[in-house]
Amino acid sequence: MRIAIVKLSSLGDVIHALPVVHALRRRFHDAELTWVAEAREAPLLAGHPDLDRVLIVDTRRWRRLIRTRSGAGQVRREVGRLVGDLRAARFDVALDLQGLIKSGLLTASTRAPVRVGFALRHLREPLNALFTNRRVSPPPEAVHVVEQYLALLAPLGITDRQAVFNVPVSGEAERRVGAFLAEEGVKPDDRLVALNPGAGRPEKRWPVEHWQRLADRLALEGGVRLVIPWGPGEEGLAEALSRGLPVRPVAVPPTTLHELAALLRRVALVVAADTGPLHLAAALGTACLGLYGPTSAARNGPYGARCRVLESPGRVMATLQPGAVFRAILELLATSGFAHGDGVARGPGGVA
């Protein structure tokens, strides 16, 4: 059997979909599993033990190129090659976990006889339903998006809801992270707390002055060393958070996704808003504290027994006070069992 998983982006959503490919491999041992992903997220899937192939889509770049005549021609050629690859693979099943028009077009391009997607009322872009022929309404108990993705496997006879996140981390990435931590003077028994100030949308970001107050207090009273990871376009945020701290945080260089995973696996706790690194840490089994406002923590929170969330009053991030976050961090660090995990989620995070 040849199966295509269409889940293009973003990083957090791709991570939430990882249990789907593991469930497919567990049920169909000899199947050929292909993931269709955006160029920015695809490196995370490199070396995944349950995948045979990753097909890369680069719609972000295509949107830039298509504005010029020569670029538009290049986009047409690249899209044509991608569609040719999808058809040549002769997929038996295509799973559209994205639920958008663009993912629907790619799903239809596979020409798979069985094309599974969400039922109409679960779609952000209803026209997506035109491109699937098995439409699933997740059961009411499937509240978290991880559980909703797993529900799409029902037409294939898979009803097991155990969520296993196999996050590949290369040995070379582990060595590089170990080297720069050693250069920063980090000892094996140091408790590292990662503060990730970025988020994809401005309304999901906790104010930088709140981060600064939290970091000051953690540096003086928390008994931990601070690590401030950052992604593309977030270097200014990381610098603003680091500036003026009473104890210099661990300096994090630019990282690949595999290096970020290696770093997050090393820390004791990750504190972040609803963003990709938070979900990556949760999938790795690292303890997490998610700071939530406009998005639903029940649906989109960090998934796993070592995860907790704080929800801001009025769904506005600025109303979540640093003192409450500081107390939640101390409680999590003091909780037994908040050690590194095994990659098996045991349910969505609770409210701290």
Share of the chain above pLDDT 90, in %: 84
Distance of CA 237 to the CA centre of its chain: 20
Q: And the tokens for 62?
A: 């295509």
The confidence score (pLDDT) of residue 232 equals 86
Within 10 angstroms of residue 66's Cβ, the number of other Cβ atoms is: 15
The confidence score (pLDDT) of residue 243 equals 86
Q: What is the pLDDT of residues 193-242, one digit of tens each?
A: 999 999 989 999 999 999 999 999 999 998 999 999 998 889 998 998 98
Within 10 angstroms of residue 181's Cβ, the number of other Cβ atoms is: 22
Gap between the Cα atoms of 216 and 304, Å rounded: 28
Residue-range domains of the chain with CATH: 2-156 (3.40.50.2000), 171-351 (3.40.50.2000)
| Strand-pair category, 307-311 with 287-292 | parallel
Residue 126 in contact with residue 101, Cβ under 8 Å?
no
- Decide if pLDDT at 160 tops 60: yes
What average pLDDT does the segment 28-50 reach? 96
The confidence score (pLDDT) of residue 343 equals 40
Q: What is the pLDDT of residues 109-147, one digit of tens each?
A: 999 999 999 999 999 999 999 999 999 999 999 999 999
Q: And the tokens for 44?
A: 């995370």
- Decide if pLDDT at 69 tops 90: no
Q: Looking at 93-97, 305-309, 344-348, which range is the least confident one? A: 344-348
The confidence score (pLDDT) of residue 349 equals 64
Q: And the tokens for 329?
A: 């961090």
Q: Which residue has the higher pLDDT, 345 or 330?
A: 330
The confidence score (pLDDT) of residue 351 equals 55
What average pLDDT does the segment 17-29 reach? 97
Q: Is 110 helix (H, G, I), strand (E, B) or coil?
A: coil
Q: What is the mean pLDDT of the chain?
A: 93
119 Cβ contact partners less than 8 Å away, ≥ 6 residues apart: 129, 135, 136, 137
What average pLDDT does the segment 159-187 reach? 93
The confidence score (pLDDT) of residue 338 equals 46
What average pLDDT does the segment 244-251 reach? 87
Q: What is the pLDDT of residues 257-279, one digit of tens each?
A: 999 999 999 999 999 999 999 99
Gap between the Cα atoms of 239 and 223, Å rounded: 22
Max CA distance (Å), the chain: 61
What average pLDDT does the segment 72-86 reach? 95
Strand order in the sheet with 93-96: 53-57, 32-38, 2-6, 93-96, 114-118, 134-136
Gap between the Cα atoms of 135 and 130, Å rounded: 10
Gap between the Cα atoms of 124 and 120, Å rounded: 9
Check whether the bond before 10 is cis (ω within 30° of 0): yes
Within 10 angstroms of residue 76's Cβ, the number of other Cβ atoms is: 12
- Decide if pLDDT at 81 tops 80: yes
Picking from 299, 310, 250, 307, the residue whose alpha carbon sits closest to that of residue 278 is 307
The confidence score (pLDDT) of residue 244 equals 79
What DSSP assignment string belongs to 32-79? EEEEEEETTTHHHHTT-TT-SEEEEE-HHHHHHHTTSHHHHHHHHHHH
Q: Residue 341's pLDDT band (boundaries 50, 70, 90)?
A: very low
- Decide if pLDDT at 342 tops 50: no
* Entry field: residues in the chain: 352
The confidence score (pLDDT) of residue 221 equals 92
pTM as predicted: 0.93
Q: What is the pLDDT of residues 90-112, one digit of tens each?
A: 999 999 999 999 999 999 999 99
